[in-house]
């Protein structure tokens, strides 16, 4: 129940060697293009040679690339072309002729229609190998970096850190609400559509989140609270966002509404309190925009506390409704511990944590550094970071609101010279000005935490051209059964 905007419908029938598909919601602007050897509606036979970063099979037909959802490398398939472009097209698998030994039956009952996961049909050990290879391919193709092999030197890319039990890991559910057959529903978007798949169970969610979402939906139905209609812009309840703090058992419910007034508000809160064990916070976020963005600017507490508390590796965090907090606690410890290891702190260093968010990495680093400075453009995140430092009695940290490329030079003018810079940017990677700023500050080490291998590779190239050497990269599987992979990378100054 992540509420990702991945949409589409899949159908699987495994039997008699066939893998059949249901209708596709994709469309194309042209049924044929000059020079392209396929037309929309044509069925072709294709060998799958790879996977895209979104987990689609990469097939070839007469030299033309087709992305085939749910197909795996090494498989031979019949696929119907559903859209085409000059460089590539998309197709749906109609028959599985030769199956990969890594193919598995997806355990999720609604995997055929839900767009939340992309790789449940791929053996988990194969997922980990593929994610490492995805990182390697991006470093070589985009970053123009040499990756170390058995007989060659270069950047060491370690095997992906996986989970011993890669299920039930998410501590946050973000569920879109809609209407089907006149009844309020909530779940995931289908892949390639705006339709919502009703869902009461999700194998990557912690069970407490499932329980909480079910209770909120039932309460809303009982009180006849209207669901938001994305076409008309009418209706009230847009999303239900729930958080579960694994270490404390506390739960938070956030109702995202298309307007401030909630009918039967007191009754709704009472039902949630009655039906959700461990709930300590019920909040409302108001979002009247017609964009797909989940949260609006106004958040208020309907009942209870404004935060819940969770703990990661002995550090306590206050989590507010809009806080960024990693959704996989087990893998977060491994990712952040690797960042601390790469920083090679002895207790004497000055560290700058750019894109520090709510201060999670900053506080990990502060236990091993002399001084840590965190910068983040979102004021609410810095408020959370400062509160988290106070909660843990960590005094050797300082947080500032603003653009890192503006704040960091100011710190330098004040005499602050970082030995280590840590960056954990959004998917678009580091701002170009920030790259230039880091090169001007010339720390001994840069630790780059990334959620996007392609922008990571781009930025590593820029840093290498500026006088740094990428030593090693550690992929971490923060989101099993999806196409996402996180990385922690170490760069050292050439001199």
Q: Which residues are catalytic?
A: 451
> Strand locations in 320-450, DSSP E?
350-354, 371-376, 397-401, 420-423, 445-450
Q: What is the DSSP string of 313-324?
A: TTEEEEE-TT--
For tokens 């529903």, name the residue.
185
- Beta pairing class for 350-354 and 420-423: parallel
C-alpha to C-alpha distance for 336 and 334, rounded to whole angstroms? 6
For tokens 């653009």, name the residue.
403
Buried b / exposed e over 94-106, threshold 16 CB at 10 Å, is bbbeeebebbeeb
Please tell me what DSSP assigns to residue 191. B
User: Would you say the C-alpha torsion 209, 211, 215, 218 has a positive or negative sign?
Assistant: positive
User: Would you say the C-alpha torsion 118, 121, 127, 129 has a positive or negative sign?
Assistant: negative
Q: Which H/E stretch holds residue 25?
A: none
C-alpha to C-alpha distance for 333 and 367, rounded to whole angstroms? 14
Structure tokens that stand for 359 in this block:
């201060």
3-state secondary structure of 406: helix
Cβ proximity of 169 and 330 under 8 Å: yes
- Beta pairing class for 172-180 and 156-157: unpaired
Buried b / exposed e over 326-353, threshold 16 CB at 10 Å, is bbbbebbbbbbebbbebbebeeebbbbb
Within a 13 Å sphere around the CA of 191, how many CA atoms are in the beta-carbon half? Answer: 22
Residues in the chain: 495
Three-class HEC string of 97-166: EECCCCECCCCCCCCCCCCCCCCCCECHHHHHHHHHHHHHHHHHHCCCCCECECCECCEEECCCECCCCC
C-alpha to C-alpha distance for 264 and 262, rounded to whole angstroms? 6
């Amino acid at each position: 129940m992540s509420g990702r905007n991945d949409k589409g419908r899949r159908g699987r029938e495994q039997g008699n060697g066939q893998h059949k598909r249901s209708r596709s919601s994709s469309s194309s602007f042209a049924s044929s293009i000059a020079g392209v050897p396929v037309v929309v509606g044509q069925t072709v036979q294709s060998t799958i040679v790879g996977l895209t970063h979104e987990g689609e099979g990469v097939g070839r037909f007469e030299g033309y690339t087709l992305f085939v959802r749910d197909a795996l490398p090494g498989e031979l398939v019949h696929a119907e072309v559903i859209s085409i472009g000059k460089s590539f097209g998309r197709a749906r698998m109609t028959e599985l002729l030769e199956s990969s030994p890594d193919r598995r039956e997806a355990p999720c009952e609604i995997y055929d229609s839900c767009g939340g996961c992309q790789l449940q049909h791929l053996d988990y050990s194969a997922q980990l190998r593929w994610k490492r290879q995805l990182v390697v391919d991006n470093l070589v193709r985009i970053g123009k970096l040499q990756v170390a092999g058995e007989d060659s030197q270069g950047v060491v890319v370690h095997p992906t850190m996986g989970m011993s039990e890669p299920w039930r890991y998410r501590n946050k559910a973000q569920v879109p609400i809609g209407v089907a057959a006149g009844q309020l529903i909530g779940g995931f978007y289908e892949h390639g559509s705006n339709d919502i798949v009703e869902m009461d169970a999700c194998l990557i969610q912690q069970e407490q989140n499932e329980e909480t979402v079910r209770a909120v939906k039932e309460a809303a139905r009982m009180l006849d609270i209207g669901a938001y209609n994305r076409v008309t812009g009418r209706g009230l309840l847009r999303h239900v966002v729930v958080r579960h703090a694994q270490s404390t058992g506390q739960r938070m419910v956030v109702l995202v509404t298309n307007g401030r007034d909630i009918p039967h508000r007191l009754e709704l809160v009472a039902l949630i309190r009655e039906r959700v064990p461990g709930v300590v916070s019920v909040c409302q976020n108001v979002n009247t925009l017609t964009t797909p963005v989940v949260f609006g600017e106004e958040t208020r507490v309907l009942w209870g506390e404004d935060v819940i508390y969770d703990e990661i590796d002995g550090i306590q965090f206050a989590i507010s409704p809009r806080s960024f907090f990693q959704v996989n606690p087990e893998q977060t410890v491994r990712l952040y511990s690797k960042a601390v290891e790469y920083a090679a702190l002895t207790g004497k260093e000055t560290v700058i944590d750019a894109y520090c968010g709510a201060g999670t990495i900053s506080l990990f680093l502060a236990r091993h550094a002399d001084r840590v400075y965190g910068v983040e453009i979102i004021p609410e995140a810095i408020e959370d970071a400062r509160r988290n430092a106070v909660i843990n009695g960590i005094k050797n940290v300082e947080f500032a609101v603003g653009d890192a490329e503006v704040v960091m030079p100011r710190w330098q003018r004040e005499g602050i010279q970082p030995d280590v810079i840590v960056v954990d940017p959004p998917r678009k990677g580091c701002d170009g000005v920030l790259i230039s700023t880091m090169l001007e500050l010339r720390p001994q080490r840069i630790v780059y935490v990334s959620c996007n291998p392609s922008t990571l590779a781009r930025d590593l190239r820029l840093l290498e051209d500026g006088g740094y050497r990428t030593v090693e990269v550690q992929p971490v599987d923060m989101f099993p059964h999806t196409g996402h992979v996180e990385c922690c990378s170490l760069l050292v100054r050439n001199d």
